[in-house]
Amino acid sequence: MRTAKTYLVEPLIGTIRIVSIPAENRLGVIRSLIECDLIDMVRVDERHAIVVDDNGLNETLPCMTELEGYASPLAGNLLIIGTDDNGETIDVETEIDEIAARLTIVRPVLHPVFETLSGPLIFGSRLAAMEVRIERNSPKVVGENSN
């Protein structure tokens, strides 16, 4: 049974890792890794594509991923695959570090703002507001894991 070397991006934990996809039940394994039933493909270049959740941008998002040179953000887990001339899944040819450098995980970060309380019987602070800033990082490459 032939497997294909792919890269799984998990933006919630900020990582990218190598995952082997078996030829048998390939679509089922991909759907499981992406964590959705309806998938779509985003072309990276002539030999690579990203498998995404087709409805991912329609949901509440804790974070998203940007692909260098691609206008729309991508939601949920992403699977980077290699493709042959017939569109079949093959091993990814580009090194994982190079792919990771083209991706940016974007997430909101909450920063609490406190106000000081003082009075005859009160001393301390309480939450006055929450400021939101955007954090942008490339996914961290982690060890190989085969499915």
Q: Are 65 and 44 in contact (CB under 8 A)?
A: no
130 within a domain of the structure (yes/no): no
Residue 119 lies in a domain: no
Would you say residue 53 lies in a domain?
A: yes
Cα distances from 52 to residues 44, 45, 78, 117, in angstroms, run 12, 16, 5, 48
pLDDT digit string (tens) for 115-129?
A: 988 888 777 889 999
The dihedral over CA atoms of 89, 93, 98, 100, expressed in degrees to the nearest 10, equals 20
| pLDDT tops 90 at residue 95 | yes
CA distances from 83 to 49, 59, 106, 120 (A): 7, 29, 27, 71
Residue 61: inside a domain: yes
pLDDT tens digits, residue range 45-76?
889 999 999 888 887 889 999 999 999 999 99
pLDDT at position 144, please? 54
What are the structure tokens assigned to 30, written together? 């991909």
- Residue 146 confidence (pLDDT) above 60: no
Residue 102 lies in a domain: yes
Cα 47 to Cα 83: distance, rounded to the nearest angstrom:
5
**Number of independent structural domains in the chain:** 1
Strands, E assignment, 85-122: 89-90, 103-118
* pLDDT value, residue 101: 96
DSSP 139: P
pTM metric for this prediction: 0.85
Amino acid (1-letter code) at residue 64: M
Residue 77 belongs to a domain: yes
